[in-house]
């Protein structure tokens, strides 16, 4: 029998997921459970949605057992893939996406070749859900499409729900799938996350869909064989999208809220590997082995090959209810997925550059990243470059004039033409540093008419660093990034100072600045915000950067927590930061960048940037001087600490609650390399731990996973 949701409150439902996903912390292959608690806060009525789905599933089951269902054509779901990329291998090909569609159609009609691997004991419940997936041929505006969009964004790394705002189509008409380089950890589970999905009716339309790693899409192209390589990650996530929980949900007893389908044997915890002898629950009747073949477990991809009849009933009930528009004839016609032969589309112009910050006289390599239709001809325009035009798919252009430069591309085929222009896309740093005085100070009191500071907005077109006059440590103005409202999660915004000649500074250079921030507090369902601010240095005009100071969350906050938009009200809510830059003293053209990363937190303010003189205490250790290997680890972890000077050091190992498990060292350590060994057998259990390294002026944290 299916379970009942009677008297289960939204609070209890969220608490269930918080308490019953700990066993998945080894790898966190799928982050759907963690997302449910967040999405339920946005849509508390989602619980009632599930009541309806499972009531309908029971009705479908009765019809099926009475021989009243079956024999119909497959239900078709229109799909769009939004590829979020930075021009790397995560920018997967159309062919790789089409291969994934093939895998889905085989798995959801039980025509996959490995059905022969389903063990005999489970053949009676093996199901053909009779669902097909097709790439859309018409976009929401009625235009011709290949069912693929491409968006250049740094948010492709450690992606979360934030990428959904970059490209989204009407979720009632399309299944949105966002393809990214990597996916964020939820902060407790850690490990590698391959994908996550919304559940039907959870989180609102803007969150509805699936996020998946690019190297887990399909079986060809950029596929990581160690993470699967068979396209089953999306099979698993679409199971969630159509209403299925993990088969191990609730463990052997089903817990307060189990998976709820009686033809999937209970599983004590997530299955890993491909152990056909596993039988982790013996309280079921009949006593069956773990169904490692099931797509909704965590076993290796090559072991997966089955949805059950009960799971098929739930998925089809979801299509009868919350997702009832997707497969209708009207929607299939509107999205071009009704079987009408595909027609060629006009291309959509798109491009990116290998580097957007370069030195005067450097060559910049551009790539035509146009999509949607085959490009017959292209015309580049570089008004201030050499050459000024090109018809190449990947031109190299030299920029000899300092400042910002525009770039345009027009692409054409027999179906049409499209153009794209990015203003101020390339920034060329002058050959000689802009600042050569012995001291530099920026209080942001001027109007920046000479580009004394540069702003690069990588995350949002409207919210970035801005000069404000309602707060300042001294004077009347400062710089602010508005993370409380307007900035998307994961958005990166850079404030860059003019190039500086450090050789003109008589003493080792030191950077001092004032910062103000209030952390947004968490709740019983989420941790406090972790907005981040970094100080980064470049000696090659911005092509590469080195991190010299990095703080986030409570470490960044200078004024406690605030549930309202933060504005510092006194100098006591500011903190002076000192960063030793002596290792760059011989460099004659240096850029300093303040990089802010939004994570649903609060506003960050900067003021009184001062570059001169030595620091009182030499910087002891940087991010690059503190490493952990291997991580994750099954047995032993080696911790390397490289001290730049003799210093008092405290190194502790903490559990996920912050409690100190062991103090590795708390004493004065000599300058140089130090190695420490941590063995799992000295700890109480496998799981997540945090290494905390503290010196006089540094605090660095590293997460460790023992599995």
Q: pLDDT tens across 28-56, in order?
A: 567 776 676 666 666 677 777 777 888 89
Candidates 2.60.40.1930, 2.60.40.1150, 1.10.3720.10, 1.10.10.1100; CATH matching 623-706: 2.60.40.1930
Which superfamily is assigned to 10-243+314-335 in CATH?
Collagenase (Catalytic Domain) (3.40.390.10)
The 10s digit of each residue's pLDDT in 208-252 is: 999 999 999 999 999 988 888 899 999 999 999 999 999 988 788
Residue 181 to residue 44: CA distance in whole angstroms: 31
245, with CB counted inside 10 A (0-12, 13-18, 19+), is buried
Give the closest residue to 506 by CA, choosing from 439, 581, 583: 439
- Say whether 551 sits in a helix, a strand or coil: strand
Identify the residue whose tokens are 């035009």: 389
Q: How confident is the model at residue 254 (pLDDT cuts 50, 70, 90)?
A: low
Residue 586 to residue 592: CA distance in whole angstroms: 15
Residue 83 to residue 215: CA distance in whole angstroms: 12
Residue 396 to residue 362: CA distance in whole angstroms: 10
Q: What single-letter DSSP state applies at residue 258?
A: -
In CATH, the number for domain 440-611 is 2.60.120.200
This prediction's pTM: 0.77
The 10s digit of each residue's pLDDT in 613-651 is: 543 333 455 656 788 878 778 888 888 888 888 887 888
The 10s digit of each residue's pLDDT in 287-324 is: 899 999 999 999 998 899 999 999 999 999 999 999 99
Candidates 2.60.40.10, 2.70.50.60, 3.40.800.10, 3.40.50.1000; CATH matching 351-429: 2.60.40.10
Between strands 492-496 and 591-597, the pairing is: antiparallel
Asked whether this chain's domains 10-243+314-335 and 351-429 adopt the same fold, the reply is: no
CA angle 214, 236, 689 (to 5 degrees): 75
Contact at 8 Å (CB) between 214 and 83? yes
Angle in degrees, 0-180, between the axes of helices 10-19 and 32-42, rounded to the nearest 10: 160
Residue 277 to residue 121: CA distance in whole angstroms: 13
Q: What b/e readout covers 148-176, taking b as 16+ CB neighbours within 10 angstroms?
A: bbbebbbbbbbbbbbbbbbbbbbbebbbb
Annotated catalytic residue, options 34, 237, 259, 600: 237
Give the pLDDT score at 365: 97
**Catalytic annotation on 575?**
no
Domain extent listing, the chain? 10-243+314-335, 351-429, 440-611, 623-706
Identify the residue whose tokens are 């972890």: 637
């Amino acid at each position: 029998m299916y379970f009942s949701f009677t008297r289960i409150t939204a609070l209890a439902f969220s608490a269930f997921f918080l308490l019953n996903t700990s066993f998945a912390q080894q790898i966190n292959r799928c982050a759907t459970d963690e997302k449910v608690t967040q999405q339920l806060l946005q849509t508390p009525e989602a619980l009632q949605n599930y009541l309806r789905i499972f009531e309908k599933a029971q009705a479908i089951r009765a019809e099926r057992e009475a021989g009243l269902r079956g024999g119909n054509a497959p239900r078709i779901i229109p799909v769009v893939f939004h590829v979020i990329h930075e021009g790397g291998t995560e920018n997967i090909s159309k062919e790789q996406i089409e291969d994934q569609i093939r895998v889905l159609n085989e798995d959801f009609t039980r025509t996959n070749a490995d059905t022969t691997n389903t063990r005999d004991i489970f053949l009676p419940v093996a199901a053909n859900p009779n669902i097909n997936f097709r790439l859309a041929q018409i976009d929401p505006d009625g235009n011709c499409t290949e069912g693929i969009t491409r968006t250049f964004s740094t948010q492709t790394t450690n992606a979360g729900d934030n990428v959904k705002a970059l490209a989204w189509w009407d979720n009632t008409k399309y299944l949105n799938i966002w393809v990214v380089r990597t996916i964020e950890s939820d902060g407790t589970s850690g490990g590698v996350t391959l994908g996550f999905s919304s559940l039907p009716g959870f989180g609102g339309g803007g969150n509805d869909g699936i996020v998946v790693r690019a190297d887990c899409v399909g079986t060809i192209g950029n596929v990581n064989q160690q993470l699967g390589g068979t396209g089953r990650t999306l099979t698993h996530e679409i199971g969630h999208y159509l209403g299925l929980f993990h088969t191990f949900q609730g463990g052997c007893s089903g817990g307060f809220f189990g998976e709820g389908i009686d033809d999937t044997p209970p599983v004590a915890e997530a299955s890993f590997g491909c152990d056909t002898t596993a039988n982790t629950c013996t309280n079921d009747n009949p006593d069956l082995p773990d169904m490692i073949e099931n797509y909704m477990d965590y076993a290796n991809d090559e072991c997966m090959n089955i949805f059950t009849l009960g799971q098929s009933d739930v998925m089809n009930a979801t299509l009868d209810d919350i997702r009832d528009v997707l497969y209708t004839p009207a929607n299939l016609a509107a999205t071009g997925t009704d079987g009408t032969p595909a027609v060629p589309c006009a291309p959509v112009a798109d491009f990116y550059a290998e580097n957007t910050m370069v030195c005067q006289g450097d060559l910049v390599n551009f790539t035509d990243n146009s999509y949607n239709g085959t490009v017959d001809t292209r015309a580049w325009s570089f008004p201030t470059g050499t050459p000024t035009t090109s018809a190449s798919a990947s031109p190299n252009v030299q920029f000899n004039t300092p400042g910002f430069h525009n770039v345009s591309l027009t692409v054409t085929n027999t179906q049409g033409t499209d153009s794209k222009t990015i203003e101020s896309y390339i920034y060329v740093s002058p050959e000689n540093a802009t600042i050569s005085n012995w001291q530099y100070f920026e209080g942001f009191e001027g109007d920046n008419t000479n580009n004394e500071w540069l702003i690069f907005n990588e995350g949002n077109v409207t919210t970035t660093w801005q000069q404000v006059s309602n707060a300042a440590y001294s004077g009347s103005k400062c710089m602010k990034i508005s993370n409380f409202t307007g900035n998307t999660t994961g958005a990166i915004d850079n404030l860059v100072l003019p190039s500086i000649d450090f050789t003109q500074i008589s003493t080792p250079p030191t950077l001092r600045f004032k910062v103000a921030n209030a952390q947004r507090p968490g709740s019983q369902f989420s941790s406090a915000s972790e907005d981040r601010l970094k100080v980064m240095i470049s000696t090659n005009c911005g092509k590469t950067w080195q991190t010299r100071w990095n703080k986030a969350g409570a470490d960044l906050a200078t004024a406690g927590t605030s549930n309202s938009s933060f504005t510092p009200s006194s100098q006591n809510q500011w903190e002076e930061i000192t960063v030793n830059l002596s290792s760059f003293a011989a460099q004659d053209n240096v850029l300093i960048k303040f990089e802010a990363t939004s994570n649903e937190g609060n506003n960050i303010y900067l003021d009184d940037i001062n570059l001169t003189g030595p620091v009182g205490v030499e910087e002891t250790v940087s991010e690059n001087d503190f490493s952990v290997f291997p991580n994750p680890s099954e047995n032993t972890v080696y911790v390397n600490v490289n001290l730049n000077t003799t210093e008092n050091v405290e190194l502790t190992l903490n559990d996920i609650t912050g409690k100190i498990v062991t103090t590795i060292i708390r004493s004065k350590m000599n300058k140089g390399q130090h190695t420490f060994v941590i063995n799992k057998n000295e700890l109480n259990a496998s799981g997540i731990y945090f290494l905390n390294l503290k010196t006089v002026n540094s605090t660095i944290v590293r997460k460790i996973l023992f599995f």
